[in-house]
Amino acid sequence: MERIALSIEELGTLLQIIENLSIGPSDVQHLESALALLSGILPYASGVILHEYDSLAGRKRFRYDFSSGCEQSGWKTIPVEKSVGLERSAEWFDKMEALERAFVWRGKGAGNKVGCADGANVAAWLADGEGVGGSIRHEKAGDGNSTTMVFLRCEDELFSQKSLALLNLVLVPLHALFMDGAALIRDSISLNNLTAKEAKVLHWVVEGKTSWEVGKILSISERTVKFHLANIYSKLNVANRVQAVSVVSRGNKLGSYSQTARSA
Mean pLDDT, rounded, for 196-215: 89
- Residues sharing a CB contact under 8 Å with residue 71, sequence separation 6 or more, in sequence order: none
Asked, for residue 187, whether it belongs to a domain, the answer is no
Domain residue limits at 103: 8-182
Q: Tens digit of pLDDT for each residue in 9-53?
A: 888 988 888 888 876 544 567 777 888 889 888 888 888 888 777
Position 89 scores a pLDDT of 67
% of the chain with per-residue pLDDT over 70: 66
Least confident of 22-36, 121-135, 159-173: 22-36
Instruction: Pick the closest to residue 147 from 165, 166, 134, 164 (CA basis).
Output: 134
Tens of pLDDT along 170-199?
A: 988 888 776 655 555 555 556 667 888 888
Predicted confidence at residue 223, as pLDDT, reads 93
Pair 160, 217: CB distance under 8 Å: no
pLDDT(252) > 50: no
Question: Is residue 85 very low, low, confident or very high in pLDDT (cuts 50, 70, 90)?
Answer: low
Nearest residue to 132 via CA among 100, 108, 109, 155: 155
Q: What angle do CA 34, 39, 40 make, to 5 degrees?
A: 100
The model's pTM: 0.64
Q: Is the dihedral of CA 206, 208, 212, 216 positive or negative?
A: negative
Question: Domain ends where: 139, 159, 182?
Answer: 182
Kindly state whether residues 154 and 127 are assigned to the same domain.
yes
Q: Examine the pLDDT at 146 and tell me if it is beyond 70.
A: yes
Alpha-carbon span 249 to 235, nearest angstrom: 16
User: Is residue 212 classed exposed, middle or buried when 0-12, 13-18 and 19+ CB atoms within 10 A define those classes?
Assistant: exposed
- In whole angstroms, what is the distance from residue 10 CA to residue 13 CA? 5
Higher pLDDT, 9 or 125: 9
pLDDT bucket at 142, cuts 50 / 70 / 90: low
pLDDT score for 56: 60
Instruction: Kindly state whether residues 147 and 16 are assigned to the same domain.
Output: yes
pLDDT value at residue 132? 92
**173 and 211 inside one domain:** no
138 and 26 assigned to the same domain: yes
The answer to the question of residue 134 being in a domain is yes
Beta strands across the sheet bearing 58-67: 74-78, 58-67, 46-55, 144-153, 130-140, 102-107, 93-99
* Residue 248 to residue 241: CA distance in whole angstroms: 11
Indicate the number of domains in the chain.
Answer: 2
Tell me if 154 is assigned to some domain.
yes
Residue type, 142: G
Q: Does residue 94 sit in helix, strand or coil? A: strand
